[in-house]
Structure 1
Amino acid sequence: MDQKFGDLDPVTFEVLRNTFEYVCRRMTVILQKSSFSPILSENLDFSNAIYDPELRLIGQTANCPVHLAAMHFSVQAVDRKFGIDTLKPGDVVVLNDPYEGGTHLNDVTLTMPVFYDEELIGFAVSRGHWMDLGGGGPGGQGFGTHVAGEGLRLPPMKLYENYEVNADLLEILLRNTRTPHYIKGDLQAHMGALLAAEEELQATAGKYGKDVLLNGMSQMIGYTERIVRAAIEAIPDGTYEGADYADSDGISDDKIWVRLKLTVNGDAIHVDFDGSDPQCAGAINSPYANTAAAIYTALQFFLAPDAPPNAGMFAPISFSLPEDCWLNAKWPAPVVGCTTITSGKVQSAIWQAVAKALPDLAIAPTCADANWFVAAVRGKDGRIDVFSDIPAGGWGGTPYNDGLNVTLDPLGNCTNMPAEAAELLYPIEVEAFDLRSDSGGPGENRGGLGARFRFRFIEGGELSIETSRTLEGSPGVNGGGFSPVQVLVKERPDGVRKVIGGTSEDGSWTSPLLSSHKFGPGESFEFLSTGGGGWGAIRSRDPERVLDDVLDEYITMEAAERDYLVVIDRDTMTVDEAATRRLRS
């Protein structure tokens, strides 16, 4: 064979590429199947990856992108604390500190070195969202002004040594959570994932030799970097601006802005956040690692989504953050909303900048919110439990088709909890989870639809949620329109409804960041998520496609006439071509 990848032949290179991906897939299956908490087993709010001895990402699964692109900062924090030369087989370091490579406190990262013949050959890393680590509200959603109110903050600490758990540290974890019945089982699931990665990497080193394995890791990174740089070179050089905002930080009613300039120069991209708002009082500040993850992930959608996912994706991308900025959070800034609100706004701003650079390939922004809620519920046995879910919205229209309906924001890539599982595990009743008509932004290609999600508290409880898009919906691109706003509603058993987040019928607005909002027995929580923005000129949409949307109840007849200037004959349910021509002329 003439073609070489360094000194690897293409066959060996491809075998190793698939091996690195398989290792992470096996980690994922083990973690999902053996975890105790539904947020891991059902919502899949976790990620797994492997790194080389130089702390560079080598392989990952398509789990939670905002985790994956941030995890190498956690690995670097382990090195800073202990020094990788001091680590031994069976050491596992735990951390969740937002200012040392973490995101919000619920995202707990476990890092284990992997050795073969007493030589370090890499690291296995597993990060998962743990249901509750204390704090002022369920799931840490206290929405105060200090990170201490969000739960237990862990610097890099050895949770395992020689494969034996630190019983004292585990006891601290169990005593600082509303859900101790999940912690130990979830920890064992993470450990199972790490051990699987260790087994697979050692087997690969045994089969091909350490040198081939380590060389393959380096060659894989270079291969991906070349693909990404080639993709960047296809973008016209220039500087492109984008912006988006969170509705509120929960303390002030002021909008909190992301403003950026994306500069393409040859085969490299730089993102400058100068002009973004300062660090805010409320709990939506984003640590450095979280902001970096949002940047990397947002750009990979357009650059090289099919390239082997490794550190080569990061090298061509640089960014600068002001010191005093809500996207560069410093202690003691509260951060619980960083992954579920702020990262989506960073992504949306980047996508809007890319739309100016590549208008024919642009994708309209998504709902840009995970809509993560947590509810403390009390069962008939008196035990307090924590129920959580992430009711999705829609994705934006694309140059080729309408956006996806009810799909979690791409930075999350998790799933909603099945109603059957939720009702089996918790004292609630899921009353609705259906498509929300007229919730996609209009355009030549319409934004995907959001949903109506509703459940009833059987024994009462308290709910916390962090979301946005209640002042404006998702923006469109290339002439596409905004989607409608999101709304949070509380309904009493007698049917009386009250907007508890967003805009009421009288025009008053309430912040959509709720902490420990009380619900009585029989009261229901309803969330109306928004869709994605529209792509392309609204009135360029074919009237027959508008009719199809009306027949599918994706849009109403009123919206067809108001937004698209398409009149539907109510008797025949066909396009009234004469009336449509008059409106469009």
Structure 2
Amino acid sequence: MSKKIDPVTMQVIGGALDTIAKEMSHVIQRMAYSSLIRESEDLGAGVFTTFGETLAESDSTPMQLGCLPGYIQGFQEVLGDDQHPDDIIWNNDPYAGASHSPDISLSQPIFYEGELIGYAGTTAHHLDIGGAQPGLIVDAPDVYAEGLVLNGVKLYDKGKPNETLFEIVRQKVRTSSQVIGDLEAQVAACRLGARRYIELIDKYGKDTVLAAGEELMNYSEHMMQREIAKIPDGEYEAESWLDDDGINLNEKLKVHVNVIKKGSELEIDLSKSADQVASAFNAAYSGALCVAVYSVVRSIFLDTYTHEEFVPANHGVFRPVTVTARKGSIFNPIRPAATFSRANQVNTAADLIIKALTPVIPDKTCAGSAANIQFASYSGLDQDHNYWVYIEVNEGSYGGRPEKDGMDAMDFSSWNTRNNPIEDLDMHTPMICEQYELREDTGGAGKTRGGLGIIRRNRFLTDGLMSMEGDKHTVKPWGYNGGLPGTEAALIKNADTKPEELPSKLNGERFNAGESVKIMVPSSGGYGDPLERQASQVYEDILDEIISAETALNDYGVVIEDGNLNIERTEEKRQEIRRQRGKLPLFTQ
């Protein structure tokens, strides 16, 4: 693009693009039928170039945003030039850019004076797409068992609804009315995004707006390169394990990350990770793995809170980062392998990138986080024998940071979904939430402690099914530089009557009316020597019921007598611990 743009105009256009993306997101949220989109904001929206490059994205779930370029490029291969004004194009194929199949992307080509100039794109997680199980699926033999998977099919063709496709959704999908309502919310967002983008071009001119978009991406690319260049060249590795694939419950799966830094570029190589599996516990390369990598790398090097300059969230941020995954591995499976349950693999990969880089940039990272998503779906039949489906994301936590404790009850890395209020569950489904609170006394001790996950107990009021896409029942979040590890996850059926430990992955587990499930999400690792934490901070944690007096004594060397802090005996206890322990490890797990 040869046209020169002055900095003020570029920033004004950048702000307008950002506003368009946010407005699109708000439309979806306000119009959505399902609580997963309406309350949790498991959605994405943005404006894109003709090549699918991100110009601006909404402040919603990174996993829903970073995959949109792949969605667009995926349907371009199918449609070619068969794209027209007012088309709405469907893609939810994990082998053509989708994050996973229930994340349906709807995009509208934007034309100006007969020329294709970009796309308004949206994506959202839908309650059901007609797969082998309602809601979520862990045990699926292939991608075809996941349900309605399409690429490059038009929901609207030149503005006219594809009634055949709508009828297929009505007949194939269990919760068709909610899914169609959510699809129409995405359509409205696409229409708005396209209209706003054309209005912007009418105001500033096509060449100016397109040139500004290129310059904004170049600026973001330069800023990412500048930050990457600050760390030493070299290779940095980290490794961990996943519980199982949901079928072979005694076979752990390796996740290995090699971060290769050269000059101002990074390569993230996961080729030494486990082979693809026979269940749905595989991760789509483009739509899931790459998105998770880009998201965590941006958070490390261009954190908005700590960075002085504002760096637009656009495609330029991705350019200095290459993601490599061996074909046939869990991070780059070969079609038709199922990829429905992909969250915990890519979260673990993101956590290992942090772990690999922490020794060289400890001021920009944190100790081990939950690296987990306890993604649960509940379902059953109502009195009219129609399906109800409810999906919830149970919050994780972050590891301790150089100057702050880890964040409690927060989704890790590229998820960032919002809390789904228990009132929504109680009002709209035949279930009730009986416990929803922080998981006390479980965060890893450290100079800054690990964040707390949550405990949630839900009870079925009628017979129903539950599927769970979880992990980290066998691996604790790691502590750093003397910090202690966090606490692993757990899942218990009927914890208050006849406790039964369940595996981290469920596929259509049956519950009778009156039975309950207790979900315990991992709490994260501590950062730094626990004995360096101020005794007054430890005492405050006791008063806030974050830790127990026993943990204060054993892990922090803080002595509480008659409910009060004893500073003198605390110093004595800490000296005793220092004499008895050896050299503190860099990592603990």
Same fold (TM over 0.5): yes
**How far did 1:142 drift?**
4.6
Structure-2 residue corresponding to 1:428 = 431
Query: Is 2:498 the partner of 1:497?
Result: yes
The answer to whether the aligner puts 1:535 opposite 2:530 as a matched pair is no
Q: Is the 8 A contact 1:364 1:532 kept in 2?
A: yes
Whether the 8 Å CA contact 1:487–1:499 is kept in 2: the answer is no
Q: Does 1:145 align with 2:137?
A: no
* Partner SS for 1:327: coil
Deviations 1:119-158 (A, max 9, x none): 2221011000000112222214152332223222212211
Mapped partners of 2:319, 2:475: distance in 1: 35
Secondary structure at 1:213's aligned position in 2?
A: helix
The aligned counterpart of 1:335 is 339
- Distance in 2 between the 1:375 and 1:471 partners? 24
Give distance in 1, aligned partners of 2:277 and 2:359. 29
Distance in 1 between the 2:258 and 2:531 partners? 31
- Distance in 1 between residues matched to 2:185 and 2:339, nearest whole Å: 26
AA aligned to 1:295 is V
> In the alignment, which residue of structure 1 is the partner of 2:584?
none
Structure 1 residue identity aligned to 2:329? C
> What is the CA–CA distance in structure 2 between the aligned matches of 1:145 and 1:177, rounded to whole Å?
19
Q: Which residue of 1 aligns with 2:506?
A: 514
2:297 maps to which residue?
Answer: 299
Q: Which residue of 2 aligns with 1:308?
A: 312
The residue type paired with residue 230 of structure 1 is R
Q: What is the one-letter code of the residue matched to 2:322?
A: S
Deviation digits for residues 192-236 of structure 1, max 9, x if unmatched? 100110111010000001111111111111111111111111112
Is contact 1:135-1:142 (8 Å) kept? no
1:357 aligns with 2:354: no
Please name the residue that 1:419 is paired with.
422
Which of residues 209, 212, 215 in structure 1 aligns to 2:208? 212
- What letter corresponds to residue 544 of structure 1 in structure 2? S
Instruction: Say whether the 8 Å CA contact 2:282–2:330 is kept in structure 1.
Output: yes
Q: Distance in 1 between matches of 2:151 and 2:71?
A: 10
C-alpha separation between the residues in 2 aligned to 1:488 and 1:368? Answer: 17
- 1:471-486 equivalent positions in 2, closer than 5 A: 471-486=474-489
- CA separation of 1:477/1:6 partners in 2, compared to 1, >3 Å: closer, same or farther? farther
Matches within 5 A, 1:159-198: 159-198=155-194
Q: Which runs of 5+ in 2 are unaligned?
A: 305-310, 580-589
CA RMSD of aligned residues (A): 1.7
355-364 or 314-323, which deviates more: 355-364
Contact 1:489 1:498 in 2 (8 A): yes
Aligned to 2:586: none
Give the match for residue 446 of structure 1: 449
Look up the match of 1:367.
Answer: 370
Q: Determine helix, strand or coil for the equivalent of 1:403.
A: coil
Q: What is the alpha-carbon distance in structure 2 between the residues aligned to residue 114 and residue 305 of structure 1?
A: 32
Gaps of 5+ in 1: 502-510
Selected match of 1:53 from 47, 50, 64 = 50
Shift of 1:517: 1.0
Aligned to 1:94: 90
Q: 1:508 corresponds to which residue?
A: none
Paired position in structure 1 for 2:473: 470
Q: Name the counterpart of 2:576.
A: 582
Does the 8 Å CA contact 2:138/2:279 hold for their aligned counterparts?
A: no
Q: SS of 2:289's equivalent?
A: helix
Secondary structure at the counterpart of residue 131 of structure 1: coil
How far does residue 379 in structure 1 lie from its aligned partner after superposition?
3.5
Please give the secondary structure, in 2, of the residue aligned with 1:274.
coil
Aligned partners of 2:370, 2:31: CA distance in 1, in Å? 32
Deviation per residue, 1:268-322 (Å, 9 max, x gap): 1111223111111222111111111111111001122341011101111112211
Secondary structure of 1:99's match?
Answer: coil
Shift of 1:171: 1.2
Partner AA of 2:127 in structure 1: M
Q: 1:410 to 1:272 in 2, by over 3 A?
A: closer
The answer to whether the Cα contact below 8 Å between 2:138 and 2:281 also exists between their aligned partners in 1 is: no
Partner of residue 585, structure 2: none
* Residue 106 of structure 1 pairs with residue 102 of structure 2: yes
- In 2, distance between residues paired with 1:260 and 1:515? 29
User: What residue is the counterpart of 1:37 in the other structure?
Assistant: 34
Q: How far apart, in 1, do the equivalents of 2:271 and 2:413 lie?
A: 25
- Identify the residue that residue 256 of structure 2 maps to in structure 1: 259
Counterpart CA distance in 2 for 1:404 and 1:356 is 21
Deviations 1:389-440 (A, max 9, x none): 1111211111110011101122111112111111111111111111111221
Per-residue CA deviation, residues 31-83 of structure 1 (Å, 9 max, x unaligned), is 00001111110111110111112321110012111222222111111211111
Matched, 1:386 2:389: yes
8 Å Cα contact 1:24-1:197 kept in structure 2: yes
Equivalent residues of 1:379, 1:426 under 8 A apart: no
Residues 368 and 525 of structure 2 are in contact (CA less than 8 Å); yes or no, is this contact kept in structure 1? yes
Of 536, 545, 553, the match for 2:545: 553
Q: CA deviation at 1:86?
A: 3.0
Amino acid across the alignment from 1:149: A
Q: 135, 152, 156: which is aligned to 1:156?
A: 152
TM-score by length of 2: 0.93
Equivalent-residue separation in structure 1 for 2:578 and 2:462 (angstroms): 54
Aligned counterpart in structure 2 of residue 455 of structure 1, from 451, 455, 458: 458
Q: Distance in 1 between matches of 2:33 and 2:534?
A: 49
- Which AA in structure 2 matches 1:500? E
How far did 1:97 drift?
A: 0.8
Percent sequence identity over matched residues?
A: 29
Rounded to whole Å, the distance in 1 between the matches of 2:138 and 2:356 is 34
CA distance in 2, matches of 1:230, 1:582: 46
Give the AA of the match of 1:234: K
State yes or no: 1:523 paired with 2:519.
no
Residue pair 2:224, 2:302 contacting (<8 A) in 1 also:
yes
The corresponding residue for 1:410 is: 413
Query: What corresponds to 2:241 in structure 1?
Result: 245
